[in-house]
Amino acid sequence: MDFQRKMTIEGFAHFDGSVDGKEIDSLKIYALETIKGSEVTTVRGCRTVEYKMRNAKHIAAELAAYDYPIEAELTFEVQSAKGKNGEHIPELVVTDVHPLTAIGKNGKATPAVSAPKAAAA
């Protein structure tokens, strides 16, 4: 099941290469998330959360065209990942990113203009 969420992206890191003969295309998106409290805890502010995305060359190329931070709509999905002992565990991953506005250093939001889409392989 997919769901979307509007978030502020502070930056990203993309790796596209091989490690020990295994091809890896991995993107990490660093986004602000409001800290949630409960009836017994008092919290304020935001924290930076790291979200993973697989097979992300096309998104990394588009994200590289922006100055950060940006507002974007992220699509999430729960996928199966292997745990340390080989068991399958649920993992929340990003499956799509749609930039909305560039916030810029002056704090003013401007419309984000999408970079040209990379050609599908």
CATH of the domain at 30: 2.40.50
48 has a pLDDT exceeding 70 = yes
The two three-digit tokens of residue 116, written as one number: 């040209």
For residue 59, being part of any structural domain is answered with yes
For residue 121, being part of any structural domain is answered with no
For residue 120, being part of any structural domain is answered with no
- Cis-peptide, bond into residue 90, ω within 30° of zero: no
Domain that holds residue 107: 2-111
For residue 35, being part of any structural domain is answered with yes
For residue 117, being part of any structural domain is answered with no
69 has a pLDDT exceeding 50 = yes
The span from the CA of 103 to the CA of 69, in Å, is 6
The span from the CA of 46 to the CA of 66, in Å, is 22
The span from the CA of 116 to the CA of 96, in Å, is 15
The two three-digit tokens of residue 57, written as one number: 């060359």
Residue 83's pLDDT is 74
Q: Into how many domains does the chain fold?
A: 1
The span from the CA of 10 to the CA of 30, in Å, is 6
* pLDDT digit string, tens, across residues 8-31: 999 999 998 889 998 888 899 999
For residue 73, being part of any structural domain is answered with yes
